[in-house]
Amino acid sequence: MAKEKIMYFCQSCGAESGKWMGQCPACKEWNTMVEERVSKKKTVSSFQNEGRAKVTKLKDIEMAREERICTDIAELDRVLGGGMVTGSMVLVGGDPGIGKSTLLLQVCKNLAAKKISILYVSGEESLQQIKIRAERIGEFGESLSLLCETNLEVIEEIVRRDMPQMVVIDSIQTMYNENVSSAPGSVSQVRETTGSLLKMAKGLGITFFIIGHVTKEGVVAGPRVLEHMVDTVLYFEGDRHAAYRILRGVKNRFGSTNEIGVFEMRGNGLEEVENPSEFMLGGKPKGASGSVVACSIEGTRPILLEVQALVCHSNFGIPRRTAAGTDFNRVNLLMAVLEKRAGLQMGACDAYVNIAGGIKMNEPAIDLGIVLALVSSYKNRPVEEKTICFGEVGLSGEVRAVNLAEQRILEAKKLGFTTCILPEVSLKFLEEIQGIELIGVKSIKDAIDKAV
């Protein structure tokens, strides 16, 4: 019988220690060490594995063509980099009820229509509950199989017997390995279970989608090494009570991590939003001060968004500043630039900045939009309805150039905007675009004079 001993693991990074500590020595997080019972395993001598190792020269490696399978969900394929890669492992995280299981069931529905064999493993719902969710989504093909099981050995046996082309694990925190003595969802169980699934994915050429719970900070629960083991990490963002959902890739070995997918939650599942700009600008007030339309780039996609600001005199000694959807410190910096470089006395004013729609944007190109929204509210003068702006603001009050200016302008023109305020430097690299007036500015003073 293997001997058991008590070890302490960090829930944030997976570091282990023989004694409990208030602060993890690896990642410096507080109160993340948890107690687990582990059993000693016999280690295999390195001399026994000496004959198995094989060294290969770089020039002798033959490149195999990367095979991708389209999910027929354009927004998901965009984030994945063009579709699923055979033998890859994708981790999907997000808040409870945001639509992780619904999205993967829709993927199963589309792939089952192509006669692709799929195994959906659920450790949280019964077969009847999955059936109810599936009937709401639509008709499913016969190549989709369901399994309610949490024992990893049973799952591995069925996968090796049936050899499906795709496996969905819902969720990784409910699975357990009998060789690990700790409880399901613990650091050891999540790490060992994911490692076993990863071996199956690479060894058998099966695509795995695993769903992961998130902590109150919004990151995938379990050791940080979980994200390093998988090939792709996707996060669902957005308020579960709102209609929209944003799928963002934070790691992708087979594509870009700058792309996002936008979905809308409806009664029959998640619906793709083909034009996020029009979706984000829905309900924009007319003739209201403190409302400016700016343009941000996510990957290769320009997105127009409404920047709202409310500036009023403070009734307390310390003014209050609030930022929703953008960096709070960036807003404070831009207000300091306005006071120093534009001569606006905003030090005694409360300021509230919001990116309408709840989307989070931190690209420097929306700096000019935040500045004009603050000034518009401060002076109580609305910005022209069909005016859009973008540009990075420096500490000297200058408006600096940003990338992909032409794509931003064309997106604004498509949605009916007639005026675009942009950095003057960007005008040198642009050809004349019919139907929209381009106004180049050097500093925030010029932008304020032209817009407010």
What secondary structure letter does DSSP report for 422? E
- Reported as a pLDDT band with limits 50, 70 and 90, residue 34 is confident
Residue-wise pLDDT for 146-177, tens only, equals 999 999 999 999 999 999 999 999 889 899 98
pLDDT on residue 220: 59
DSSP string computed for 184-243 = TTSHHHHHHHHHHHHHHHHHHT-EEEEEE-B-TTSSBSS-THHHHHSSEEEEEES-TTSS
Q: Which stretch of 65-69, 77-81, 90-94, 127-131 has the lowest confidence by average pLDDT?
A: 65-69
First-residue to last-residue Cα distance in the chain: 78
Task: Give the model's pLDDT for residue 53.
Answer: 66
State yes or no: pLDDT of 43 exceeds 60.
no
When computed from its CA atoms, the radius of gyration of the chain, rounded to whole angstroms, is 26
Q: Which amino acid is at 429?
A: F
Per-residue pLDDT at 304: 93
What's the confidence (pLDDT) of residue 238? 76
- As a 3-state breakdown, the chain gives helix, strand, coil percent values, each rounded to 5, of 30, 30, 45
Lookup: tokens for 398: 């200058």
Cα-based distances in Å from 161 to 158, 209, 324, 386:
5, 19, 51, 61
Q: How high is the mean pLDDT of the chain?
A: 87
> Which two three-digit tokens encode residue 361?
């944007």
Give the pLDDT mean for 78-104: 90
CA distances from 278 to 5, 73, 306, 389, 411 (A): 59, 20, 11, 16, 10
Q: Please confirm whether the linkage preceding 171 is cis (ω < 30° from 0).
A: yes
Query: pLDDT for 329-388, tens place per residue?
Result: 999 999 999 999 999 988 889 999 999 877 888 899 999 999 999 999 999 999 999 999
pLDDT of residue 364: 93
> Distance from CA of residue 20 to its chain's centroid?
33
pTM, two decimal places: 0.77
Q: What is the pLDDT of residues 273-298, one digit of tens each?
A: 888 888 888 888 888 999 999 999 88
Q: Is the pLDDT of residue 418 over 90?
A: yes
**Is residue 391 within 8 Å of residue 311, measured between CB atoms?**
no
Residues near 366 by beta carbon (within 8 Å), at least 6 away in sequence = 294, 295, 296, 305, 307, 326, 355, 390
pLDDT exceeds 70 at position 215: no
Residue 222 — pLDDT band, cuts 50, 70, 90? Answer: low
Average pLDDT over every residue of 25-29: 82
- Amino acid 315: pLDDT: 83
pLDDT of residue 423: 95
pLDDT tens for 225-246 read 678 889 999 988 876 666 788 8
Choose among 426, 297, 420, 424: nearest CA to 366.
Answer: 297
pLDDT digits (tens, 9 = 90+) for 177-200: 888 877 787 778 888 899 999 999
Predicted confidence at residue 117, as pLDDT, reads: 95
Q: Report the alpha-carbon distance of residue 22 to residue 314 in Å, rounded.
A: 41
Is 248 a residue whose pLDDT tops 70? yes
The pLDDT value given to residue 287: 87
